[in-house]
Amino acid sequence: MTADPIDPLRETVVERRSLHQGRILHVFDDQVRLEDGRLARRELVEHPGAVCIVAVDEQGRIGMVRQWRHPAGRALWELPAGTRDHPGEATAATASRELREEMEASAATWRYVGAWPLAPGYSSEVMHFYLAGGIAAWPGASDPEEQLERAWFTPDEARERIREGKVDVKTIAGLALAGYTVAPESEPAAVGADG
């Protein structure tokens, strides 16, 4: 077995300064050395990782929640998702918990789709995607810190939320990974900071 070659784009941390330690996130200011020796600064949000669930009921409808997103300044329709309680928590356990809390539902079948960095320019967060079927009600499991609306949408209705600019990118990615057509038939609504 040969060793992996050193990536010419590799950056090595020279100095790390903690800026903020929150309940979920830890923010750092890193000084890094580029392969050619130059120094640069990088801000990093350390995140324990998260899951996103494409839950499909017996009628072929997709479970989604609408909740206020403070940084976006508006409510969005999203696939059920959530943060791992800690970096060592099994993502399957996180997915099961989040489906119960957000959709008040359980699933008899689970299929792991894969995991990818969500915003690698500043965050270490990796999103793990699951498909869930055999949906059954699981009442009373809501997270007390969340206010949300729950709904089951047909694929066309979900695509309409995308066209209207009323979803986030993990929802678009999750639906695409599950094999749904996510491209709107017309140009999506403009979404900006005031959106």
- Give the chain's mean pLDDT: 91
The one catalytic residue in 78, 98, 145, 185 is 145
Question: Do both 153 and 107 map to the same domain?
Answer: yes
Task: Please tell me the predicted confidence (pLDDT) of residue 87.
Answer: 80
Question: Do both 91 and 132 map to the same domain?
Answer: yes
Task: Please tell me the predicted confidence (pLDDT) of residue 187.
Answer: 63
Over range 135-150, report the average pLDDT.
83
- pTM score, whole prediction: 0.88
Over range 168-185, report the average pLDDT.
91
User: CB under 8 Å, gap of 24 or more: what pairs does 160-165 form?
Assistant: 161/64, 161/77, 162/188, 163/188, 163/189, 164/188, 164/189, 165/189, 165/190, 165/191, 165/195
Question: Do both 98 and 165 map to the same domain?
Answer: yes
The band of 195, judged by pLDDT with boundaries at 50, 70 and 90, is very low
| Tens-digit pLDDT profile for residues 1-23 | 555 678 889 999 999 999 999 99
Domain residues for the domain of 19 are: 11-46
| Tens-digit pLDDT profile for residues 102-125 | 999 999 999 999 999 999 999 999
Please give the backbone phi and psi of residue 152, each rounded to the nearest 5 degrees, phi first: -115, 120
Question: Do both 119 and 31 map to the same domain?
Answer: no
pLDDT of residue 153 exceeding 50, the answer is yes
Question: Do both 33 and 63 map to the same domain?
Answer: no
Over range 62-73, report the average pLDDT.
95
Query: For residues 121 and 156, what is the distance between their CA atoms, to the nearest angstrom?
Result: 32
Asked if 160 is an active-site residue, the reply is: no
For 124, other C-beta atoms within 10 Å of its C-beta total: 18
User: CB under 8 Å, gap of 24 or more: what pairs does 140-144 form?
Assistant: 140/104, 141/100, 141/101, 141/104, 142/101, 142/102, 142/104, 143/101, 143/102
Query: Which CATH number is 69's domain given?
Result: 3.90.79.10
Question: Do both 117 and 42 map to the same domain?
Answer: no
Residue 179 falls in which region: left (phi positive, over 0), alpha (psi -120 to 50) or beta:
left
pLDDT of residue 193 exceeding 60, the answer is no
Q: Look at residue 185 and tell me if it is in a domain.
A: no
Question: Do both 110 and 127 map to the same domain?
Answer: yes
The count of domains in the chain is 2
Instruction: Decide: 78 and 108 in contact? Cβ < 8 Å.
Output: no
